[in-house]
Amino acid sequence: MNEPPKRHHKQPQPPLVIPPGHVCFRLLCHSSRIGGIIGKSGHVIKTLQTQTSTKIRVEDPVPLSDDRIITVIGNTNLTKTLSFNAATGLVNIGSGSGSYSSDEEEVCEVSDAQEALVRVFERVLEVAAEGEGEGGYMVGGGVVSCRILTDKSVVGSVIGKGGKVIEGIRKECGCKLRVLVKDKLPSCASFNDEMVEIEGDVLATKKALVAVSRCLQDCPYAQKTKMVTGRPDHAAPWENIPNGHMDYPSVSSEGDTYHPMDSRASQQEIVFKMLCSSDWVGRLIGKSGSIIQAIQNESGATVTIGGPVSDCDERLITITAMETPESGDSPAQNAVMLVFNRCVEIGYPSSIMGTQITARLLISPNQMGCLLGKGGSIIADMRKVTGAYMKIVGDDQVPKCALDTDQVVLMTGEFVSVRDALFSVTGRLRNNLFYGKMSNDHGTRGTHPRGNGRHYNEHSNLNQSMDSLKLSSNTDHLPTPAQRQSQIIAGNPMVGQNVGKGSTSVKGGIELGRGGRSAIVKNMSVEIEVPQNVIGSVYGENGTNLARLRQISGAKVVVHEPRSGTADHILVISGTPDQTQSAQSLLQAFILADQS
């Protein structure tokens, strides 16, 4: 592969990791005021970070944008008390619910992230006031404005069912509050963003800012994204939206208004159990638990290492995560791959080329069927497409750290083959939990939940380690009411609404469904922009990753050279929803393997 041309301009900022239990807020600020926010040698922003125990970063400027994004990442625990003074318009923050407040003050509990957001906004107002209101904060007549960018998948928590939440904030705080899309957004915003704009007097605006941030913070999907970047995403231009308008989730045929919070009902605990040599455990955990903690932070799953068992040379590693069937990214699967990669580093410190590697998963008896298939057809198919030797063993080959009824899925082969087999097996086990018995027609291609079937636009970062990969796609099938009931898609960050144009490719359909419910699901295309620094992970050595991506998923995968004026390659994935989903997920695994 040719070396990329040398660049002399500033390297882009690295993405920011959002640890579990934290939230990310993005405040817009006029570019002319950024110097006052940062301060000399970064003094102001460093002080704000120290005072609030948060991470605050001013994102790089974007061409043709008068605004900059200030990113705030902090804990979501309500550990601070905030009081609004109606007489002075000032906000005081103390620790704990017992903090003093006078009769003239309204009190509420806030998190570190909310405190930082309020403090940054106050600093913005101070700097804007010094410039006599330039930059759009002093609207006039004592009115100020505040603008927050948020992913459209979580903005519903601010609007509420029938607009009740946003109307309640307006009345309670006495301010103007609206959600804007398309031409009202600055060019530094991403395609998947919407903007919450607050206008009112200083105190009312601050109160509304706290209320809005609380809605976003409490939304279970606000913390789903584990990595954020300030780089805007223009993979799909605004012109691709009919009438320049993004509709909110539609009303189903049963007449029930769809609401993001409803998807809690579809959450399931995904559990994978791996075996690890006792000799490797110390290096897997790391000093003071640093490595295992990093794996948890990057994947979003919980990783627990069982204690030693007498007369047993193995240790049990349990990986758990709460997931929904429509999730485009599985925290539990990502954790399995990270643990596997770390174990390979420990157990095979020299070159792994040509070395036989073994991975072992524990499964319960009722999970065997989804891996074996009728007459062993499924496991035979997985052997064929991954190149790994695979079998399920029990009895005396099950270590004492496992349950008496557990079986061991044994995968042996070269590193890439075992990695692919492990990914296929965990994907099938995950699907089996959500969907029950899966069709054998797709073999290992159905390693991830099939698409929800709605007409949708996908646009999201594929994975933390993939930086700013950009994705957009369509499918054109509308589900039956029964399927809508069984396939809840609420709150999925990778699901938007009704995109009229895009990269859809319709070439026919396949029958999908369970329990006698069948539906035609037509082919779809997904276009992903891949940064130059990760394109090597897509190709792999001598193109092996790209070849396996096509073989295992069954999707058509084409890599195009960067467009004029950009350094990003274009990756187009085409096929059925199952195939494209599998290809995207496998792409995550390749990049995780190279990054770990």
**Which pair of tokens denotes residue 147?**
């603008």
Determine the angle formed by the axes of helices 377-386 and 544-553, rounding to 10 degrees. Answer: 160
Question: Alpha carbon of 286 to those of 249, 291, 471: distances in Å?
Answer: 45, 5, 35
Mean per-residue pLDDT for 417-430? 91
Inform me whether the pLDDT recorded for 298 exceeds 50: yes
Mean per-residue pLDDT for 377-381? 88
Residues 6+ apart with CB under 8 A from 141: none
Backbone dihedral region for residue 184 (phi beyond 0: left; psi -120 to 50: alpha; all else: beta): alpha
The predicted pLDDT at position 407 comes to 92
**CA-closest candidate to residue 121, choices 235, 29, 189, 59:** 29
- Can you give the pTM of this predicted structure? 0.42
Mean per-residue pLDDT for 138-145? 71
**Which pair of tokens denotes residue 450?**
């099939």
Which domains does the chain possess? Answer: 16-232 (3.30.310.210), 267-446 (3.30.310.210), 451-581+590-595 (3.30.1370.10)
Per-residue pLDDT of 158-192, as tens digits, reads 988 888 899 999 999 999 999 987 677 888 887 67
The predicted pLDDT at position 344 comes to 87
**Cα(159)–Cα(178) distance, rounded to whole angstroms?**
9
Mean per-residue pLDDT for 283-306? 86
Mean per-residue pLDDT for 198-222? 88
The predicted pLDDT at position 509 comes to 37
List the single range of 254-258, 292-296, 318-322 with lowest mean pLDDT: 254-258
Inform me whether the pLDDT recorded for 131 exceeds 90: no
**Cα(283)–Cα(322) distance, rounded to whole angstroms?**
27
**Which pair of tokens denotes residue 14?**
């690295």
Query: DSSP secondary structure string, 231-298?
Result: S---SS-GGGSGGG-PPPPPBPTT-PBP-GGGGGGG-EEEEEEEEEEGGGHHHHH-GGGHHHHHHHHH
Inform me whether the pLDDT recorded for 54 exceeds 80: yes
Mean per-residue pLDDT for 428-432? 88
Inform me whether the pLDDT recorded for 520 exceeds 80: no
**Under a CB-based contact definition with an 8 Å cutoff, are residues 26 and 232 in contact?**
no
Q: What φ, ψ does residue 419 adopt, rounded to 5°?
A: -60, -45
Mean per-residue pLDDT for 461-481? 40
Inform me whether the pLDDT recorded for 92 exceeds 80: no
The predicted pLDDT at position 44 comes to 93
Inform me whether the pLDDT recorded for 249 exceeds 50: no
Inform me whether the pLDDT recorded for 517 exceeds 70: no
The predicted pLDDT at position 7 comes to 44
Backbone dihedral region for residue 353 (phi beyond 0: left; psi -120 to 50: alpha; all else: beta): beta
Residue whose tokens read 């915003």: 189
Mean per-residue pLDDT for 45-71? 90
Mean pLDDT of the chain: 73
**Under a CB-based contact definition with an 8 Å cutoff, are residues 466 and 529 in contact?**
no
3-class DSSP string for 296-352: HHHHCCEEEECCCCCCCCEEEEEEEEEECCCCCCCHHHHHHHHHHHHHHHHHCCCCC
Mean per-residue pLDDT for 541-552? 79
The predicted pLDDT at position 123 comes to 93
**Among 7-11, 405-409, 551-555, the range of highest mean pLDDT:** 405-409
Q: Are strands 268-277 and 357-363 parallel, antiparallel or unpaired?
A: antiparallel
Inform me whether the pLDDT recorded for 229 exceeds 50: yes
The predicted pLDDT at position 250 comes to 28
Length of the chain in residues, anyone?
596
**Cα(108)–Cα(482) distance, rounded to whole angstroms?**
43
Q: Which residue has the higher pLDDT, 337 or 229?
A: 337
Backbone dihedral region for residue 253 (phi beyond 0: left; psi -120 to 50: alpha; all else: beta): alpha
DSSP code for 219: S
Mean per-residue pLDDT for 127-139? 62
Q: Which residue has the higher pLDDT, 500 or 262?
A: 262
**Cα(467)–Cα(489) distance, rounded to whole angstroms?**
25
The predicted pLDDT at position 260 comes to 36
**Cα(282)–Cα(288) distance, rounded to whole angstroms?**
10
Q: What is Dmax (Cα atoms) for the chain?
A: 81
Mean per-residue pLDDT for 373-385? 87
**Cα(459)–Cα(135) distance, rounded to whole angstroms?**
30
Per-residue pLDDT of 352-372, as tens digits, reads 667 889 999 999 888 888 898
The predicted pLDDT at position 124 comes to 92
Backbone dihedral region for residue 453 (phi beyond 0: left; psi -120 to 50: alpha; all else: beta): left
For the stretch 531-536, contacts whose Cβ atoms lie closer than 8 Å and that sit 24 or more positions apart, written own/partner, are 531/467, 531/468, 531/469, 531/567, 531/568, 532/4, 532/562, 532/567, 532/568, 532/569, 533/467, 534/465, 534/466, 534/467, 534/469, 534/591, 534/594, 535/559, 535/569, 536/1, 536/594
> What pLDDT band is residue 275 in, cutting at 50, 70 and 90?
very high
Q: Which amino acid is at 498?
A: N
The predicted pLDDT at position 27 comes to 96
**Under a CB-based contact definition with an 8 Å cutoff, are residues 462 and 400 in contact?**
no
Q: Buried b vs exposed e over 504-514: b needs ≥16 C-beta within 10 Å?
A: bbeeeebebbe
> What pLDDT band is residue 579 in, cutting at 50, 70 and 90?
confident
The predicted pLDDT at position 6 comes to 47
Q: Which amino acid is at 474?
A: N
**Which pair of tokens denotes residue 399?**
């270590």
**Cα(144)–Cα(29) distance, rounded to whole angstroms?**
13
> What pLDDT band is residue 500 in, cutting at 50, 70 and 90?
very low
> What pLDDT band is residue 440 in, cutting at 50, 70 and 90?
very low
Mean per-residue pLDDT for 406-430? 91
> What pLDDT band is residue 595 in, cutting at 50, 70 and 90?
low
Radius of gyration in angstroms for the set of CA atoms belonging to the chain, rounded to a whole number: 25
**Among 95-99, 327-331, 404-408, the range of highest mean pLDDT:** 404-408
Mean per-residue pLDDT for 193-222? 89
List the single range of 15-29, 219-233, 300-314, 427-441 with lowest mean pLDDT: 219-233
